[in-house]
Amino acid sequence: MNTREILRHPSGFLPLLMSLAALSIVLVYLAVNGPARQSDEGTAAHIWQLLMAAQVPIVFYFAIKWLPQSPRQGATRGGGNARGGGPGSPAGPPPAWRCGWSLD
């Protein structure tokens, strides 16, 4: 089974779509409001957090379903998802210290 066949199933493509949606929310928010410090987290931050948290059960399902059937393609796809979306990755938000914000 190749990667294209795996990505045809919802457990294969939903985490990718959710990551792209989260990234687009962050980029649109920054384009509209800029990186100015906010007094409280806004709606965009909460939607981003929900999208990131909702990926966890889908990725677990993906691992349970696809790793036994095709370990090489499943590990490649799953590992790519595990690398993306974190604060230090290009798909995630930059750390607060990099933007010059203090966390007090």
- The tens digit of pLDDT for each residue in 43-98 reads 888 888 898 888 888 888 888 887 777 666 556 555 544 444 444 445 555 555 55
pTM of the full structure: 0.60
The pLDDT, as a whole number, for residue 67 is 76
Residue in this structure with the two tokens 């990551």, named with its chain if needed: 19
Please write down the long-range contacts of 73-81, taking CB distance under 8 Å and 24 or more positions apart.
Answer: 73/1, 73/2, 73/3, 73/6, 74/6, 76/3, 77/3, 77/6, 77/7, 77/12, 81/15, 81/16, 81/19, 81/55
